[in-house]
Chain A
């Protein structure tokens, strides 16, 4: 266990649904990340938050909406998704000290969009 938790672990949703993914860490890390992992593709960075401020948005469609209320919690709000958005969504956190520090990943949420 890395100390980063994600809920739910599995999610099936229709294209008209609204759902949220949750990530939590109590490791004292200041940076939190959302990644998407699709089959046969590299992990794709989606968003980065550093001390609750968004520092990276990797041209992610607006149907994905991140929220970082504090340094320990990160959400990804989903609405009107497409079947091609089905993937493993991984959250990660990083301790203070810069982007060259190790990232700790949660177990991921496996999302299926019908």
Chain B
């Protein structure tokens, strides 16, 4: 079983749509959670950290369910510029290790 599992997509959505990505992780020692964004042929960049109480940054909302070992990312009012691969990432407790999912590809069309 993969340590971090994501639906690879692609998710093809029109501008203005709301889209949600899910992610599950298997290691119960995971302590910190992130969503990174990776544009085509570019490096990953942090989109947002995910906190236990859930958090929002503009059009982006992240949720964490520790009991189910599940993380989600909601994007509202999608823009063309949101087209990218979204990587679910967990940090294992007391280590320097980040474990990446394979990513979910989003394509927003006009």
Q: How large is the interface on B (under 10, 10 to 19, 20 to 34, 35 or more residues)?
A: 20 to 34
Given contacts A31-B96, A42-B102, A108-B43, 8 further A-B contacts (CB under 8 A): A33-B98, A41-B102, A43-B100, A55-B96, A56-B95, A99-B94, A99-B95, A102-B34
B76-109 interface with A by 8 A CB criterion: 87, 91-92, 94-103
Task: Name the B residues within 8 Å of A55 (CB-CB).
Answer: 95-96
Docked complex Cα distance between A40 and B105 (Å): 11
Closest to A102 in B: B46
Interface residue B1 (Cβ < 8 Å from any Cβ of A): no
Which listed residue (A2, A99, A102) contacts B97, Cβ 8 A? A99
Residues of B contacting A90 in the complex (Cβ-Cβ under 8 angstroms): 43-44
Give A107 to B43 CA distance when docked, in angstroms: 5
Q: Which residues of B contact A25 (CB under 8 A)?
A: none
Given A43-B44, A105-B43, A105-B44, verify A56-B100 contact (CB < 8 Å): no
The answer on a CB contact under 8 Å between A103 and B95 is no
- Known contacts A40-B102, A42-B102, A45-B97; A99 and B45 CB within 8 A of each other: no
| Closest B residue by C-beta to A41 | B102
Chain A nearest CB from B82 CB (Å) reads 19
* Most chain A CB within a 10 A radius of its CB, from B87, B92, B95: B95
B→A interface (CB under 8 Å): 2, 4, 31-32, 34, 42-46, 49, 87, 91-92, 94-103
A74 at the A/B interface (Cβ < 8 Å)?
no
User: What are the residues of chain B within 8 A of A100 when measuring CB–CB?
Assistant: 31-32, 91
Contact status B96-A50, CB under 8 Å: yes
24 example contacts (A-B, Cβ-Cβ < 8 A) are as follows: A2-B43, A2-B45, A31-B96, A33-B98, A41-B102, A42-B87, A43-B44, A43-B87, A45-B97, A48-B96, A56-B95, A94-B96, A99-B91, A99-B94, A99-B95, A99-B97, A100-B31, A100-B32, A100-B91, A102-B46, A103-B98, A105-B43, A105-B45, A107-B42
